[in-house]
Amino acid sequence: MLPHVYRVTKYDPADRDEHGHYTGPEDTVSDHGVVETAYLRAVEAFAANVGVDRLCIREPQIPSLAHFGVAPPLDDFGLDGLFPTGPAGFHDGAEVPLDIGLALVRVMLRDGGAWCRLEVDGVFAVHVGWDQYLYIGSNRPCEEALARTRALGLFPERLDASPYDVEADEEDIQRPGDDDFWAGVRWAVATGRAGTLEETYLEGASRWHHLTRDTIDVVRAGLAPRARLAVWPALLSDIDAVLGALPVDGLVEGVWQDKDGRIHSAVADETEFPELAARIVGADAAAVLSVNADDRAPLFTAVMPDRDGVVRARWRTEPTSSDRNWAFLKTLHRGQVVTGTVTRIASFGVTFVDIGGFEAMINIPELSWRPVDHPSDVVTVGQEIDAEILDVDPIRDRVSLSLKALQEDPMPLLIRRIGRTIVGRVTKLVPFGVFVRIEEAEVENGFEGLVHNSELADGRSDNPQPGIQVGQALLVKILDVDPVQRRITLSHRQAASPVPAPPGDLP
């Protein structure tokens, strides 16, 4: 916000009632003549006073329904011939010389359709309001410009701020359309979740793009500077179902892809539904979307950053659940310890944990250092746990956790027991040997070792496991412990029967 702000009008302050409403004889539209020229000369005077000869276009817009509707759009919105590069030059962040800036002020005074804020960050601003109200701000007093404005027959009034100042909420979620965003787009397209991109290049104007693995880079390269992006599912090929989704009345946006692969859109009300349906009926694919922001639900959104990677556009997209997840995941990092609540245990064995509204996951091997047959052996739904973050994947919206990372691995302690003979319980018979638990039965999921068939009996035998049953006590010797491979090698044949030791807690 600039410290010196003036409302510049053709209205004499003496002609206002007690509520501040103008009651004088002046018309509230542009005269396209002497008064309009006076406004432009006043802007020019303030710009000269602060040494500004170029202005930055911010938050440009055009009438949305006129642009999108099935009726022909308004001609050029007053922009014809203003930009050397054509209408594409009218975008957020575009710098224009003062003469083009003054021409834009004229367009806005005439209510030609296009509107924007004209600013030099921290130095100067020109905002055009309704009914010929002009707001000029500067970073220094402009006595010469004020005198010039009064001499032109206009009335400058000091204000605290322009009503058109933008106060961005720093806590708003705003995802940049950077490399990470496009990696997410690529993943969503590859997995069949996404298929179209909505590009809002002006407030009130947008283009739609077909997304495939082969077109993503081309689409990205052709986007307007600082455009707002919304990623959507693919259009539906069942045209009858799309047309059946048209409501009885209200406003909708129809989006369809023609035979040449180009995507079109139009906003229509119930009176225009027949024409909209006629356009859609011959399409390859289409969709009908609500124009109500509360009912529009893209997969995720972003705003294109400048070339240096910084998002300077002040407008915001409406955050989706995926955008909120992205913002939350930005606060996480590997090795961080989080507290969460177990929400569910999937049939395929993954444990899901709510960490601040986001559902993270724990795979079975990360539940415990000891063998786990099912997550319910370690955790229960509703249980609060502490876990360490193993990985944060914002592209796939995944966070992997580990319970065992916060615990000491007991297996290395077994190394001290190599060479000892103990009595263990047989837990499983397999073709190549038997597994024996070498810890007390009271130790849940106690470590087990393998007694290979060759270590079950002396000499060669066609049946090395005669009479051995699950649950049987078996004398074994610990031959080797491999903490990396999680393997314990045992021998019954080499067990020293005179000095057996019962299985017990680790030393």
On whether the CB atoms of residues 226 and 282 are closer than 8 A, the answer is no
Q: SS3 of 97, please?
A: strand
φ, ψ of residue 55 to 5 degrees: the values are -125, 155
The structure's pTM equals: 0.83
Q: Which residue has the higher pLDDT, 81 or 134?
A: 134
φ, ψ of residue 371 to 5 degrees: the values are -60, 135
- Per-residue pLDDT tens digits for 267-316: 888 888 999 999 999 899 999 998 887 788 899 999 999 999 999 999 98
Q: Which pLDDT score, from 0 to 100, does residue 20 have?
A: 77
Relative to beta strand 95-97, strand 421-430 is unpaired
- The dihedral of CA 295, 296, 299, 303: what is its sign? negative
* % of the chain surpassing 70 pLDDT: 92
Number of H helices, E strands in the chain: 10, 24
The 8 Å CB, 24+ separation contacts for 165-173 are 165/1, 165/125, 165/127, 166/58, 166/59, 166/117, 166/314, 168/314, 168/316, 172/316, 172/319, 173/319, 173/323, 173/324, 173/326, 173/327
Q: How many CB atoms lie within 10 A of CB 486?
A: 14
- Give the lowest-confidence range in 45-49, 171-175, 443-447, 470-474: 443-447
Average pLDDT, the chain: 90
- Per-residue pLDDT tens digits for 402-413: 999 999 888 888
Place 68 in a pLDDT band, splitting at 50, 70 and 90: very low
Residue environment code for 87-103, b if the CB has 16+ CB neighbours within 10 A, otherwise e: beebbbebebebebbbb
Q: Which residue has the higher pLDDT, 92 or 113?
A: 92
Cα 502 to Cα 219: distance, rounded to the nearest angstrom:
70
φ, ψ of residue 497 to 5 degrees: the values are -60, -25
φ, ψ of residue 351 to 5 degrees: the values are -100, 130
Is residue 399 scored above 70 in pLDDT? yes
Distances (CA, A) of 460 to 249, 432, 468: 87, 14, 17
Is residue 66 scored above 90 in pLDDT? no
Place 507 in a pLDDT band, splitting at 50, 70 and 90: very low
Q: Which pLDDT score, from 0 to 100, does residue 268 have?
A: 87
Relative to beta strand 95-97, strand 351-355 is unpaired
Q: Supply the Cα-derived Rg of the chain in whole angstroms.
A: 36
- Per-residue pLDDT tens digits for 116-151: 999 999 999 999 999 999 999 999 999 999 999 999
